[in-house]
Amino acid sequence: MRILVLGGDGYLGWPTALYLSQHGNDVGIVDNFVRRQYDLEMGVDSLVPIVQAQTRIRRWKELTGKNIELYIGDLTDAPFVEQTFSNFEPDAVVHFGEQRSAPYSMIDRQHAVYTQHNNVIGNLNVLYTIAEQDPTIHLVKLGSMGEYGSPNIAIEEGFIEIEHKGRKDILPYPKQPGSFYHLSKVHDSHNIMFACKIWGLRSTDLNQGIVYGQYTEETALHDDLATRLDYDAVFGTVLNRFCVQAVVGRPLTVYGKGGQTRGMLDIRDTLACIELAIMNPPSKGEYRVFNQFTESFSVLDLAEKVAAVYGNGVEIQHVEDPRVEADEHFYEATHTKLLDLGLVPHLLTDDSIQRLLSLAERYSNRVDIKAISPTVSWRRTSSKLLTSNNATH
């Protein structure tokens, strides 16, 4: 198949592009490299060094003989999106190309506006382009488990049957997202569902949990193929952060009581889930939702696991929660649709934690301790950044 990976230079987009290329597809990637620019803005960097996209692609071709086409541009630029799609003529589009950090979206008004503009407008341009050029293109869109929030009832896969005043209907599951970033994903979901209804598009909305790990079979072939790993308080996600914190001898930063429970998955399962969604497309006009995670853990569970595997007297510190969120809550979320399609998960084991710890040890000299403590507060409308607060957007 011809598959276009939007955001193909990012943490997940790059390894997905390699995986799909390795599995016999013709792959193109689209990116405006804004993720690399956020690093410059925040004064942080990936734990693992990453080379430029062109070098990555050249190295992949040298090692495998497979070509990946690169389209450099911004998804909020409609003519660029139209030209890219008409040039590449995809059968499927995997859309990772958004601003994905909740704390980044909560820095101040400017970052909230940027996040929602970038994500919602980019996605709308993709929907219009598909509708106008070829409505049979399957849009596989990365959403988030955080779209649902943490309700006091079980979370279903996208839809719930409700009985109200003697009548029944199957309706979109209520959304209670916890950041302006997560809200952008909810807006995207609504726009996609509507586009499927009015134009007969077909789309899979993947409500993905928090991804951990950095190792995939393809990225491990050469250091130039490595994907990024973030540990800073704005872009680093919880388990990746805890492993880096343990290695550099810092206490593990559990926000509040640590009872925040989240769906999680190994980065290798992201790739497998994307492939399963592509190989089993929805029908014309169908909007479907898969909850893409394999296990759930509380933040405190994760800290305890990392402390147990690393040993060396790792301390767990309950720091004041910079977010407005429940730090203890009920959590039960259905996630059967990808398993039904054949997903065989890589579950979180001591070995997978050890692999992350070893990676952190290899690059421990690149860790900037100042980047670890949270700086963005949900309660303030303007947060003091680590560096001078001269956002570029």
Residues that bind ligand NAD (CB under 6 A): 7, 9-13, 30-35, 74-76, 96-100, 118, 122, 142, 144, 208, 210-211, 237
Helix (H, G, I), strand (E, B) or coil at 159: strand
Query: Hey, which residues does 139 pair with through a beta bridge?
Result: 93, 203
Nearer to ligand NAD, 256 or 263 (CB): 263
As measured in angstroms, the least distance from the Cβ of 379 to ligand NAD is 23
Instruction: Based on the shown chain and the rule CB under 6 A, indicate whether residue 123 belongs to the binding site for ligand USQ.
Output: no
Residue 82 tokens, joined: 């139209």
Q: Is the distance from CB of 325 to CB of 151 less than 8 angstroms?
A: no
Residue 289 is classified by DSSP as: E
Partner in contact with 263, chosen from ligand USQ, ligand NAD, none, beta carbon below 5 to 8 Å by kind: ligand USQ
Q: Strand 202-208 to strand 287-292: parallel, antiparallel, or no bridges (unpaired)? A: parallel
Question: Cα-flanking dihedrals φ and ψ of residue 71, to 5°?
Answer: -115, 115
- Residue 122 site contact among ligand NAD, ligand USQ, none (CB < 5 to 8 Å, cut-off depends on kind): ligand NAD
Under the binding rule (CB under 6 A), the answer on residue 107 touching ligand USQ is no
Pairing of strands 68-72, 26-31: parallel
Near ligand USQ by CB under 6 A: residue from 237, 291, 352, 383: 237
Residue 96 interacts with, from ligand NAD, ligand USQ, none (CB under 5-8 Å by kind): ligand NAD
Q: CB nearer to ligand USQ: give 251 or 282.
A: 251
Strand duo 261-266 + 295-298: pairing: antiparallel
Ordered DSSP codes for 49-68:
----HHHHHHHHHHHH---E
| Beta carbons of 284 and 199 less than 8 angstroms apart | no
Mark the segment that binds ligand USQ (CB under 6 A) among 64-72, 132-140, 142-150, 268-276: 142-150
Per CB under 6 A, 241 contacts ligand USQ? yes
Q: Using CB atoms within 10 A of its CB, is residue 2 exposed (0-12), middle (13-18) or buried (19+)?
A: middle
Binds 35: which of ligand NAD, ligand USQ, none (CB < 5-8 Å by kind): ligand NAD
- CB 65 → ligand NAD: shortest distance, Å? 25
From candidates 137, 196, 206, 238, binder to ligand USQ by CB under 6 A: 238
Sign of the torsion angle spanned by Cα atoms 387, 239, 101, 35 = positive
- Structure token digits, residue 379: 């309660």
- In the list 84, 253, 377, 383, the residue contacting ligand USQ (rule: CB under 6 A) is 253
Site for ligand USQ in 261-290 (CB under 6 A): 262-263
**Of 200 and 295, CB closest to ligand NAD:** 295
